Amino acid sequence: MLDAILWGAVQGLTEFLPISSSGHLVLVPAMLGREVPDLATSAMLHLGTLVAVLIYYRQDLARMARFDRPGRRMITIIAIGTIPAVILGLLFEDTLDRLTEHPAAVAGMLILTGVILLGTTFLRRGERQTEQLAPSDATLIGFAQSFALIPGISRSGMTISAGLARGMGRVEAARFAFLLGIPAIAGAGLLSLARMVGDGAGVTIETIVGMVVAALTGYWAIAFLIKVLGRVGLAPFGIYCVVAGILGVVII
C-alpha cells in the first residue's frame, strides 16, 4: 500500500510539474532499491493524472464540446499538435522502452531538461493566447512534446518552453501544454491498460489507491505550477532538474 501511495504521489506531481514523470519513475526506484511500477500500477496512475487534468480544465473541454467554430478550431490545433508524438512514438517505441533500463542516461536527460528550462529565462515574455496559435505553432509545440518520449525529458517542460518560444504568455503556454497533453496521457494510460490485460494482470486495491493519490496530487501540481509560472517562470524547476539529474548520475 505504501508503494502505491509513493508511486501515485510521484506520478501526480511529476506528470504536470516540468520535472519529468518518466524520469522520476525510473530514478526514484533505482535510488530506493525498489522495482519500477508494474503495468497495472502504471495504467492506473496515468488514469489518475488524466482525471486531474480533465477536472482542472473542464471549462475549456466544455467549450470544445459545444463544437462551435472556436471549439472546432481548438480541437484542430490540439489534434495537429498530437500527431508528431503519435508518429514518433510508434516508430521508436521499442528503443524508447529500452532507455528505461539505463537510469544514468535518464538522469542525463533530466539535466538536459533543466538546461532547457533555464534557457527560457532569456526569452522575451509574450502575450499570445492559445486561440491565436496557427497550425505551424501547434506542429512545432507538438514536436517539442514528442521529444519528451525520451525518459527524463519533461513533457510539460518541453511544451511550455516551446509555447514561450512561440510568443505565448507563461500561464497560457501551460494551459495549451496541458490541453495538448490530454491525448498523450490518455494514450499512455490506454496502452498500459491494453498491455495489462494482455499479461492477465488485474486491478487491485493498491492500484486504485495509487490512482486516487495521482489524481489528487496531479490536480494540486497543476494549480501550483500555474501560480509559480505567473510569478517566476520555469527557472526553479530547471534548477531542480539539474540538481536531481546530477544526484542521479552520482548515486546510481
pLDDT of 200:
67
pLDDT of 216:
97
Amino acid at 162: A
User: Rounded CA gap, 199 and 121, in Å?
Assistant: 45
Alpha helical stretches, state H, the chain: 2-16, 21-32, 39-56, 58-65, 69-91, 93-99, 103-119, 135-147, 155-165, 170-198, 205-232, 235-251
User: Rounded CA gap, 193 and 189, in Å?
Assistant: 6
User: Rounded CA gap, 70 and 28, in Å?
Assistant: 42
The structural domains of the chain, with segments of one domain joined by +, span: 2-251
Please write the tens of the pLDDT for every residue from 51-94: 999 999 999 999 999 999 999 999 999 999 999 999 998 888 78
Amino acid at 1: M
- Asked if residue 115 lies in contact with residue 237, where contact means CB atoms within 8 angstroms, the answer is no
pTM: 0.92
Ramachandran angles phi, psi of 157, nearest 5°: -65, -45
Q: What is the pLDDT along the chain (252 residues), one digit of tens a residue?
A: 777 888 899 999 999 999 998 888 888 887 777 777 776 777 788 889 999 999 999 999 999 999 999 999 999 999 999 999 999 988 887 888 787 788 889 999 999 999 999 999 999 889 999 989 999 999 999 999 999 999 999 999 999 999 999 999 999 999 999 999 999 889 877 777 777 777 666 678 888 899 999 999 999 999 999 999 989 999 999 999 999 999 989 887
Ramachandran angles phi, psi of 204, nearest 5°: -125, 175
How is residue 128 written as a grid cell? 499570445
